[in-house]
Amino acid sequence: MAKAKQQTTTEMMVELAKMFVSTDNAEPAELQAADKKVGKTKERRLEWAVNFAQQSPDIMTKADVYNSNLELALFLYPPLALTKEPVPYNASSFINPQRIPELKERFLKHIKAAATGMGFSFPVSHSCINVDESGISYHITAMAGTKEYFAAQLEHAELTLAQLIGQHWGYIGFCDPKKHGCGRYFLKSRSDREFCSKTCVNRSTTYRQRGKEPAA
Ligand SMILES: [Zn+2]
């Protein structure tokens, strides 16, 4: 049952994608590679989103932007990994790259709120929420190509992130520079982890042993 429904979703998206004129295609192999980067488990997907939100736009080449946009599409529509035919790279299933900095900002805002233990909320429009044996999923109900559709695309991404954050509450950490951490947000493997990596733990320990307590 679940398989049949996934296939339908993919077919629907490919059909939708064809409505737009596009000369570029995302090849199935590229989509599968992006799917691998994003990961299958909820933890890995949330980790991907936390890293995505912190990618610096300044150091990204055109190819990086393209690859990161494919990964975003797989984050939002995992069934895309199953497609056997190229998917036109356009504004139906893929978010306009120009709007990605704005999306990253929104992601980071939610991630920061979660790391401080505060709740957060945001409005959504033009989305339909489905609940079934595979969990909760979202569909954009606005007409493809409209202003509402493009707004709903970003909200759809926020909903996907929010759901993962909610399922891992207490596990978004901030590697605090005041304690000689690197200043990045990360997904904790245990709720009491303070630093993102061994490197950051070691740096902090070294400073503390030298008696260089950072200014509060
Ligand atoms: Zn760190």
CA distance 164 to 81: 20
What pLDDT sits at residue 139? Answer: 87
What residue spans define the domains of the chain?
A: 2-167, 175-209
Rounded distance from Cα 59 to ligand 1 centre (Å): 19
* Mean pLDDT in residue range 150-175: 95
Mean pLDDT of 179-190: 96
| CA-based max dimension of the chain | 64
Percent of the chain with pLDDT over 90: 65
Model pLDDT, residue 1:
42
Please report the pLDDT score of residue 181 as a whole number: 96
CA 193 to ligand 1 centroid distance, Å: 11
Between 188 and 22, the more confident residue is 188
On the question of pLDDT at 30 being above 90, the answer is yes
Q: How far is the CA of 159 from the centre of ligand 1 (A)?
A: 27
d(Cα 165, Cα 43) in Å, to the nearest integer? 10
Summarize pLDDT for 110-142 with one digit per residue, the tens: 999 999 999 999 999 999 988 998 788 888 999
The pLDDT-based confidence of 7 (bands split at 50, 70, 90) is: low
Distance, CA 10 to ligand 1 centroid (Å)? 38
- Across the chain, what does the average pLDDT equal? 88
Centroid of ligand 1 to alpha carbon of 153 (angstroms): 31
Choose between 18 and 198: higher pLDDT: 198
**CA-CA-CA-CA torsion sign (125, 130, 135, 138):** negative
Tell me which of 8 and 62 has the higher pLDDT. 62
43-79 burial, b for 16+ CB within 10 Å, e for fewer?
A: eebbbbbbbbbeeeeeeeeeeeebbbbbbbbbbbbbb
Residue 144 CB burial class (10 angstroms; 0-12, 13-18, ≥19): middle
Taking only the tens place, the pLDDT of each residue in 66-109 is 999 999 999 999 999 999 999 988 877 789 888 999 999 999 99
Other beta carbons within 10 angstroms of residue 131's beta carbon come to 8
Separation of CA 99 and ligand 1 centre (Å): 28
CA of 165 to the centre of ligand 1 (A): 20
Among residues of the chain, what percentage have pLDDT more than 70?
A: 87
Return phi, psi of residue 186, to 5°.
-150, 165
- Does pTM surpass 0.95? no
| Confidence band for 18, pLDDT divided at 50, 70 and 90 | low
Q: How far is the CA of 109 from the centre of ligand 1 (A)?
A: 19
pLDDT band at 20 (very low <50, low <70, confident <90, very high): low
What DSSP letter does each residue of 25-62 carry, written as one string? EE-HHHHHHHHHHH-SSHHHHHHHHHHHHT--GGG--H
